[in-house]
Amino acid sequence: QVQLVESGGGFVQAGGSLTLSCIVSGSIFSQDALAWYRQAPGEKRELVATINDVFGTRYADSVQGRFTISRDNTKSMVNLQMNGLKPEDTAVYYCHDAVPDGFGSAYEFWGQGIQVTVSS
């Protein structure tokens, strides 16, 4: 059973930085496609950043140049470095893991979510 546990959220002033971490257990991990999503109050969940072996890293336009996604396969961890934070970055952030099924598709798993609040 795949489980994802996020950490590193909190409260920060605009222009500050935070680093989110997600530890994944129960999967091979090195073959997984990983991502961070976020959902603000009253908004739909949106994709923030992804990382995999085929396409590398990709970012939403709203965070490009400010956020960096990375992974450490030895620690089964995916991180999201967030710099130059803005109030509009305030949201619950979710770690996402796509586990290959060996047939060209994947099983999807989500973390519980972690709050990030940016004040002006």
Residue 15 has pLDDT above 90, yes or no: yes
pLDDT digits (tens, 9 = 90+) for 56-85: 999 999 999 999 999 998 899 999 999 999
**Does residue 8 have a pLDDT over 80?**
yes
Is the pLDDT at 110 greater than 90? The verdict is yes
Contact 80, 67 (CB under 8 A): yes
The fraction of the chain above a pLDDT of 70, given in percent, is: 100
What is the per-residue pLDDT for 73? Answer: 86
Query: How would you class 95 by CB atoms within 10 Å of its CB: exposed for 0-12, middle for 13-18, buried for 19 or more?
Result: buried
Higher pLDDT, residue 38 or 32: 38
Q: What is the mean pLDDT of residues 87-112?
A: 94
The reported pLDDT for the residue numbered 28 is 73
Q: How confident is the model at residue 54 (pLDDT cuts 50, 70, 90)?
A: confident
